[in-house]
Amino acid sequence: MFKLFENSHICEAIKPQTAAGAKSGDWVSLKGYDGCLILVQIAQGNAATTAITVDKATEVAGSTTSDGITMNNWWYLLDTPTTASIWTKGTAAASITSSATGTGSSLYAIEIKAAELGAYDCIQLELGASDVANVVAASYILYNGRYDGPVAMNVDAVKD
């Protein structure tokens, strides 16, 4: 049985804030983990989209990066007054464009597997500029620690 708090490490990627400008999440290292689930929440007050991308690097300082990696596994949940709350699988892409409903909120779950990063082992979430009436937030959930006992999570908190 998978126990979330025993088999994963959760941290904030982007604190809740308006989407008037582009947002760069903290860099996080996947060393010691099989992957990371990134949860993005967008509360819409305006019908403006947000571009969602994930970059990779060889260290949490982010100095050796590769922009816009392909997100092979991601899902979205649109919570609007006219639709049912059902998770839908997205198509693999280097960038996701959020919903432009202008009401309610939407959730995006992006799974990044460490094995798919090649020589890279760090990731960073990027959210494009949207509108001051929209609020964005995101979290990283690193899962399946590769070693017994707690694994320290290496994060560059300077980017937030």
For residue 42, the model assigns a pLDDT of: 93
Residue with structure tokens 């994930």? 54
Please state, as a whole number, how many other Cβ atoms lie within 10 Å of the Cβ of residue 37: 17
Break the chain into its structural domains and give their ranges: 4-159
Contact 122, 56 (CB under 8 A): yes
Query: On the CB side of 70, how many CA atoms lie within 13 Å of its CA?
Result: 6
For residue 64, the model assigns a pLDDT of: 80
Contact 150, 8 (CB under 8 A): no
For residue 159, the model assigns a pLDDT of: 45
User: What does pTM read for this prediction?
Assistant: 0.87
Q: CATH topology for 4-159?
A: Jelly Rolls (2.60.120)
For residue 136, the model assigns a pLDDT of: 96
- Which helix (H) or strand (E) segment holds residue 44: the answer is none
Helices (H) and strands (E) in the chain, counts: 1, 12
- Please name which of 104, 99, 44 lies closest in space to residue 79, comparing C-alpha atoms: 104
The one-digit pLDDT tens for each residue of the chain (160 residues) are 666 767 788 899 999 999 999 999 999 999 889 999 999 999 988 989 999 999 999 988 887 878 779 999 999 988 755 556 788 999 999 999 998 877 788 999 999 999 999 989 999 999 999 999 999 999 999 998 876 555 555 666 444 3
